[in-house]
C-alpha cells in the first residue's frame, strides 16, 4: 500500500482523495481494455448457452423475489386483515 500511495503522490502532488484513486483505477482499467493487443483466446461454444442459462436463472429469481415481496407488502396494507382484527377485538 505504501508503494501505491508513493506513486500516487508522485503523480498527483495535491491531496489524494478517494475520488483521485477512483479516477486513476478507472483510467488504468479503460487503458487495459482499449489496448490494441491480440487476445489469442478461445471461447468454448458451450459458453454462450451457459451465460444464457445464468441470465435466465437470475431473471427468474428476481421475478420470484419481487413477487413475494409485493405479496407481503400488499398483505400488510390490505383492509381485509384490519377488518378481521377489528371484529375479533
Our CA angle for 6, 11, 12, nearest 5°, is 95
pLDDT tens digits for range 29-87: 888 888 777 767 777 778 888 989 999 999 999 999 999 999 999 988 887 655 566 56
Per domain, the residue ranges of the chain are: 2-34, 55-88
Among 25, 21, 1, 29, smallest CA distance to 12 is for 21
Region for residue 40 given its phi and psi (left: phi exceeds 0; alpha: psi -120 to 50; beta: otherwise): left
Amino acid at each position: 500500500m505504501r508503494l501505491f500511495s508513493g506513486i500516487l503522490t508522485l503523480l498527483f502532488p495535491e491531496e489524494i482523495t478517494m475520488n483521485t484513486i477512483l479516477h486513476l483505477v478507472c483510467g488504468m482499467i479503460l487503458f487495459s481494455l482499449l489496448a490494441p493487443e491480440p487476445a489469442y483466446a478461445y471461447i468454448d461454444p458451450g459458453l454462450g448457452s451457459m451465460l444464457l442459462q445464468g441470465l435466465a436463472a437470475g431473471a427468474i429469481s428476481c421475478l420470484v423475489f419481487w413477487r413475494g415481496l409485493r405479496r407481503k407488502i400488499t398483505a400488510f396494507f390490505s383492509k381485509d386483515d384490519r377488518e378481521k382484527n377489528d371484529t375479533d377485538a
